[in-house]
Each structure stands twice: as C-alpha cells, then as structure tokens.
C-alpha cells in the first residue's frame, strides 16, 4: 500500500503537485515487503536516483520521500556484465528513460559556408569558401552547392566543385592556425550582378553563403543523444530488458545532424538509452564506488 501511495505522490509531483508531496509525511507502518523480511539496501530519491541515504528521509532537491530499495532491485548485478545497473519500474518511469534501436541508414549533415564570389565576369565566376578539416569528409568533387548573395536578393546560384576547372578546386596547404583551407565551386550562371550599375556591376569579392545538405550511403548509426563520455571516450547504455542497463564503449565516425556513424561497439537492433542515460551513468558510478 505504501508503494502505491508513493507512486501516486510521484506522479502528482511530476505534474506540478509539489505542494501535495510536502503536505504528507511518510507512514510509520512497515511495508508488506519489509514485513516479509526483505533486506533494505538503502533509501533513494525516485526523481533524483543519485540521492541515497541509509535511513528514511526526503530528497534535498525535490522534497519527495526517499523510496526504500530492496536487495536485488538496483545496483551492480554480479550475474550481468561489469557496470550493469538495474532500476526499478518506478525509477524508470519517473526519470523518463527512453530508448531507440540502432539501425543502418544514411547519415545526413547540414553544412554552412561563408565565402566570396571571385573572378566575377561574363565568362566565369566561382564561389570561394573556407573549409575546416572536420568538414572535408562531407565534400567531394562533382558536388553541387546552392549559393545566395546578399547583394543579389531573390536569386539562387548553383555552383559545382569541379575536378578540372579554371582554377584548382582546393588549396593544397592548410592554414596551421585555423586548420582550414580554401575550396572553389564554379557557378553555372555568371556573372553575379549586384545592383543596376552598368558595366561596373560585376563586383569581385562579393560576400556569399551556401548551405549544403550532405548525405552518405547507409551506415550503422546511433542517436547523438545516446552518447555520453566519462572522459575516457564515448559510451552508451544498452537496454538489456528487465530494468537492466549496461555501459558499452563505442568507436564513432562521422557526426551527422542527429546521429553518429558507429564504427565499432554496436550492432543493428541494439536498444540504446537516449534519455535518462546521464542519471543511469551516475547510478552506475555510485554503485561501482567511482
């Protein structure tokens, strides 16, 4: 009965009923589980599971009554892989643990570049822009970019990174200070006309922007929200079912808008925690004494 009342209080608190939680004191009668002789390991906040105590009380953060955690309900399980945590159904619900399935799919990444219109004439023009080292895996020869120029409002220009063009498509050397280089994409429509200034409207060095949506072939992906780090590299928590969550180190590749490319550590079909994983990791480190 006490667990039912506690669950009701927790749900009301999640909906904004904090006043109700503070107006009730914990019952003094033992729970049926306690009467049955089950060993209480410690008391824990259902909303902030890293808050623990060896005696009843209230969570110093939310003011909720600490919930008794019985032997076998949470902590490290010796029958599971190292670092595995078992959470109660109540904690899973209150923390709002969510999972997603690891799948193979194209990785999508949106790139934003600022640059200049160079060699602007009736015969040719190109968009010259700065590319940082981290962006190089997303660009390739033959790729087309949509370019806009503030001084030519309402117009969209198409530019292409050409292997053989009027000028090399990329500088060979990187700027050591910024780890960046220059790339060029030739405009299919030239020149870029800025205003109505007769023969002097073909300005060189006009500011321009491009937004590129790059898309890879299908690769193994994991949601970015699933990945956390303790300072020793990226890891995720696998949902093993039955309230068990196991940490797993992963090797990541390219970074997309919403997903990472997975090079090692996961398989298609694995269920990973995408919400509540930071709290699960806190519980795992507390249970391991870290």
pLDDT at 199: 57
Lowest mean pLDDT among 130-144, 146-160, 192-206, 253-267: 192-206
- What whole-number distance in Å separates Cα of residue 6 and Cα of residue 206? 66
Residue 129 confidence class, pLDDT cut points 50, 70, 90:
very high
Q: Do residues 52 and 135 share a domain? A: no
**In-domain check, residue 270:** no
pLDDT of residue 288: 64
The CA–CA distances, whole Å, from 33 to 68, 70, 76, 86 equal: 10, 9, 21, 18
pLDDT digits (tens, 9 = 90+) for 237-265: 999 998 899 999 999 999 999 999 999 99
pLDDT at 166: 79
Domain count, the chain: 2
- C-alpha to C-alpha distance for 114 and 289, rounded to whole angstroms: 49
The last residue of a domain, from among 161, 187, 214: 214
* Span of 69-78, 211-220, 257-266 with lowest mean pLDDT: 69-78
Q: Is the pLDDT of residue 5 over 60?
A: no
Q: What is the pLDDT of residue 33?
A: 45
Distance, CA of 47 to CA of 66 (rounded, Å)? 9
Angle at 254 between CA 253 and CA 257, to 5 degrees: 135
The verdict on residue 140 lying in a domain is yes
Q: Which residue range is the domain that position 18 belongs to?
A: 1-72
Residue 1 lies in a domain: yes
| Higher-pLDDT residue of 28, 118 | 118
Same domain for 59 and 113, yes or no, is: no
% of the chain residues with pLDDT over 70: 79
Task: Answer whether 0.85 is exceeded by the pTM.
Answer: no
CATH number, domain at 193? 2.40.30.170
């Amino acid at each position: 009965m006490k667990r039912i009342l506690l669950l009701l209080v927790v749900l009301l608190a999640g909906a904004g009923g904090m006043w109700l939680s503070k107006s009730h004191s914990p019952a003094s009668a033992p729970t049926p589980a306690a009467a049955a002789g089950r060993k209480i390991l410690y008391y824990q906040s259902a909303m902030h599971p890293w808050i623990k105590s060896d005696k009843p009380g209230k969570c110093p953060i939310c003011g909720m009554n600490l919930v008794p955690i019985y032997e076998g309900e949470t902590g490290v399980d010796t029958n599971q892989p190292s670092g595995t945590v078992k959470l109660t159904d109540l904690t899973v619900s209150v923390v709002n643990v969510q999972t997603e399935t690891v799948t193979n799919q194209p990785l999508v990444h949106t790139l934003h570049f600022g640059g200049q219109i160079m060699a602007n004439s009736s015969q040719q023009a190109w968009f010259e822009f700065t590319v940082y080292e981290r962006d190089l895996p997303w660009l390739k020869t033959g790729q087309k970019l949509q370019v806009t120029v503030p001084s030519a409002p309402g117009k969209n220009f198409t530019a292409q990174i050409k292997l053989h063009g009027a000028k090399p498509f990329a500088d060979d050397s990187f700027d050591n200070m910024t780890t960046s280089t220059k790339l060029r994409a030739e405009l299919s429509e030239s020149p870029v006309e800025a205003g109505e200034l007769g023969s002097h409207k073909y300005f060189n060095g006009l500011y321009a922007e491009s937004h590129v949506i790059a898309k890879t072939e299908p690769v193994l992906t994991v949601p970015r929200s699933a990945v956390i780090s303790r300072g020793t590299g990226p890891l995720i928590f696998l949902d093993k079912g039955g309230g068990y969550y196991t940490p797993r180190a992963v090797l990541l590749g390219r970074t997309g808008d919403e997903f990472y490319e997975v090079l090692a550590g996961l398989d298609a079909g694995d269920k990973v925690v995408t919400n509540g994983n930071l709290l699960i990791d806190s519980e795992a480190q507390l249970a391991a004494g870290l």
